[in-house]
Chain A
Amino acid sequence: MARREPLRALVLAGRFFRIGALNELQYRANFAMQLFQSAIALGTGLAVLALVFGQTTELNGWSQPELLIVMGVHILMGGVIATLIQPNMVRLMEDIRLGTLDFVLTKPDDAQVLVSVREIRIWQAVDWLVGAVVILFGVTQLPVSIGPGQAFAFGLAFVLGGLTIYCFWLILTVGAFWVVRMDQIVELFDGVYQSGRWPVTIYPGWLRVSLTFLVPIAFAVTVPAQALTGRLTPDTLALAAGFAVALLAFTRWWWRFGLRRYAGASA
């Protein structure tokens, strides 16, 4: 059972994706709005970069194209979070609050997988496109072109980063539910996530550590960006992998723990 789960998760995810996409595609107005919003956010981000590079040629060792790549990864990962992760977490929060989580628990599939893949906000995927374009543009401006090894490392780092953020979100949703309301967590996260716009290395020590292990922005954005800019060391990649695996295991345990508490509470 334990070995088949990842595969099953993908199958389920695929099914929910189709349904979610069909649903959302009805609302064409959302597409235009999302496009506009992303355009404005991109414009603002570029304006900031322009301002910074009006005053200096490099930030903490990162050149202009390299910072562009960081921004691109930030947008891309942000799109992934907004499309795949946040909607599920928000729904999970609602289910816990209203007690409707039971419907999920009675299904034959693994509950954690179900609550993690059933929701999708397809229009946020505009950011995937925008982020990818920015990354590509940044990459073309690099003095040294990247090889397949780097590209692969980037892909791996990105996936690991995504999984790490997913774990963070699930831990927060299950744990913080009893303390505070969800919309505040979303706002709080969005605020902290903005720190990923810049390489985490610029932040003072204590902040850098927090943004790596407390709120894993570093693994989500900086590390994949490092892969594309030739900064990624095998040590860092191994750390990212190790951290992701450990976090997944902890999340699994935490989920089970929270579920027992929930079942106890609603009985």
Chain B
Amino acid sequence: MQYPSILDKQIKDKNMSVLRVENLTKNYPGTVALDNATIQFESGKVNAVIGKNGSGKSTLIKLISGVIKPNNGKIFLDEKELSFSNPIEAYDNGIATVYQELSLVLSLDVAENIFMGRLPMKNGIVNWKTVYSKAGELLKSMGVDISPKAKVFSLSMWQRQMVEIVKAMSHNPKVLLLDEPTSALAQNEVRHLFEFVRRVKEKDVIILYISHKLHELWQIADNCSVLRDGKYIGELEMKDATQKELLTMMFGDTKINKLPDDLCTSDEVVLKIDKLTRKGKFENVSFELYKGEILGIAGMLGSGRTELLKSIFGADPYDSGTIIVKDNEIKAPTPEKMRNLGVAMTQEDRKNTGLVQLRSVRENLCFASLDKLSKNGIMNKRAEDKAVEKQIDELQIKIPAQSVRVSSLSGGNQQKVVVGNWLNTDPDIILFDEPSRGIDVNAKQQIFQIMWEQSRRCVSSIMVSSELEELLEVCPRILIMYHGKIIDEIKSKDCTVEQLYLKCMGGKL
């Protein structure tokens, strides 16, 4: 980018800066979240930090950004020891963090978000002219083509992610912490974001990039520090690293599963969708789902996959077409009606639509099956105990007690509660919307095992996912959705990720 940068002065005195943590340790009751870690991060590079959930990477981020304090160890920035009592202090000392959950206010515009809490003032009132001109300069200097007056809700996820990073960079930080910035993005959006991160990298900032999407690292990271069970395992230069090497470092030795060959196959149609259309979302979608089958739906974000599932489940309306469940045509479906017909749907967004975060694991495992667990409106405690214990046991949900709030669980355990809630309804068809979103690799494998197990029990599933590798790993047959239409269908045994990716992009790159 040829635009003059507000960060140019940092480039001029190009002394490489270094962030170093020494013997950093954080204990929580019962666990050591980070165990004596000594790691060094250099500027001008994207330093990836990877590890499965519970490996200590979030703890590391929180320690560096001043959210929590270490029990032992020190943090140095250019040989100056850092010690913060709160995140604002860390921010003031040049450590900026962009969290997984975006912190932008959707109803405000880009400029207001960037200068939130420090809008330029003149005589005690906000100087809007300066706000927009400054924000405009800032966006330009970072090569971001977004109007400072655009409302954030009108932006796509990757654009919001960029605004978030521009906001962080406007503080002229020395260290930029990116916590899973791609978790909500589709593959093409990730590419845009990466281009942007590469530009940021040139500003001589120390970038820490937290992720559990391995394949991304080769595209974006220069080197990669691996954590496992709170311990620092080692560091690799990405250009020399192999996937196998990284996986070994992350997991010791966990195998990647190939498609099992004992899945239920049948030619009995349990769900038939005919010319289903919702204007602006998807049109003329037709397909059949067989008994025991796991059918994948691949497509980029915005191709209408989630919307299709929601309309089939009765959560959203549709304009025309028919839905036939086990030979019954369904008129005006609602989630209640579909559930009673044996259809389940696990929501992608566990926080806002999948779970009642304020309530306990026990309650959340029963919300979809209350009719089965009650008699004449009164809860049957024994049936409830059985249903709850069964799912906790079979899905290996790790919790200290049934009464803990689901909000206190990790993503993987929350996802298991979502699935358990629906398995308690004894469904014949389960619609999985992004079942692996925001959960670690091991929990992902467990969720896939659960899906295969359902197939063996002749329960049919539809899986929507942004992760093409996952679809190939889990589903024997995959439909490809592009701009609201089903354009192709593949058998996963004779398709590669690259081929599938190409098809999802409409056949052209």
Query: Do A and B actually bind?
Result: no
A residues with CB within 8 A of B = none
B residues with CB within 8 A of A = none
